[in-house]
Structures are given as structure tokens and as C-alpha cells.
Amino acid sequence: MSAAGPRRVLVLNGPNLGRLGSREPDVYGSTSYAGLVERCTELGRELGLEVEVRETNDEGEMIRWLHEAADASLPVVLNPAAFTHYSYGMRDAAAQRTAPLIEVHISNPHAREEFRHTSVVAAVASGTIAGFGIGSYELALRALAGDRPQD
């Protein structure tokens, strides 16, 4: 943590993620969206990060949030959800990043339906973490904080 305070990080979630806990728990687990917010903000505090978690079903709102992050040089943990596979507008907004952007997925998209195998975001992200449940977010926050194993 710097003298100016914790580093601010946006955790941005796309469509249907507000329904975590009730939406296909066999795929997305039993943690609720409120549980996700709590885990991300608590881990952020431990890592010296000020984590703000948001969720939207609106593509335009997601694009505006990515512009906000780019303008303020804020790191982003992004779960684009269904936008992953087709939102070129969101991809173009993510490409404008001025700080690290880590794409996350709760499930492993490559182990699911074929249409989920392509991410339009991956090529402009700093990295992608998928398939670790809610732990995908935790791994991304640790990476942003520089808290990762040494080679």
C-alpha cells in the first residue's frame, strides 16, 4: 500500500453474474453474487487493494466502465460473461486499457459448448484465468497485487 492509500481495482462482471448462487450452481457454484463481492473486497484489503465490484446486463454500461478504467489507469478484473464471445465494442474498449486487465471466468469455457471457446477479449487482456470457480477472481487479484509465486 502506498502513502496515497490502497491501489484501486475494478472487478467488472457481465450479464447474469448477479444471479450467482441460483444460476446453474453445477456450472457456477453455490457462492452468491453478494458472496463474490465480499470475497473480492476482503481479499483486496488483505492485498492492499481497494476493490470495487460491479455487475451489469448492459453492454453499453460495461463499455463506459472500461473507458472509466482506461481514463483513470485502473487495473481491471473482467468477467465479460456472454459478452466474451461477441462484444467487439467491449473488446475495443478493453483494448484501450492503460493498466493491466485480467479476463476471468468461473467455469472453463473450453470445456463447455463450442460457441464459448472463442473470447474476443483474450487478445487484448494482460492474461486470462478460467475454471477455478470464484477462485479465478482471487488469482486475478493476487496477480494484480504482485502476490504470485516466483519462477
| pLDDT, tens digit, 9 for 90 and up, residues 71-90 | 999 999 999 988 988 899 99
pLDDT single digits (tens) 106-132: 877 765 667 666 789 999 999 999 999
66, burial (CB in 10 Å: exposed 0-12, middle 13-18, buried 19+): buried
> What is the residue whose three cell numbers read 453474487?
33
CB-CB neighbours of 4 under 10 Å:
6
In the annotated binding site for substrate, the residues are: 79, 85, 92, 106-107, 116
pLDDT single digits (tens) 16-68: 887 766 565 565 555 788 999 999 999 999 999 999 999 999 999 999 999 99
Q: How many residues does the chain have?
A: 151
Right CATH for 7-145 from 2.60.40.60, 3.40.50.9100, 3.40.190.10, 3.30.1330.60: 3.40.50.9100
Q: Where are the domains of the chain?
A: 7-145
Mean pLDDT of the chain: 86
pTM listed for this prediction? 0.85
| Geometric angle at alpha carbon 20, from 52 and 101, rounded to 5° | 40
Share of the chain above pLDDT 90, in %: 65
- Residues noted as catalytic: 28, 105
150, burial (CB in 10 Å: exposed 0-12, middle 13-18, buried 19+): exposed
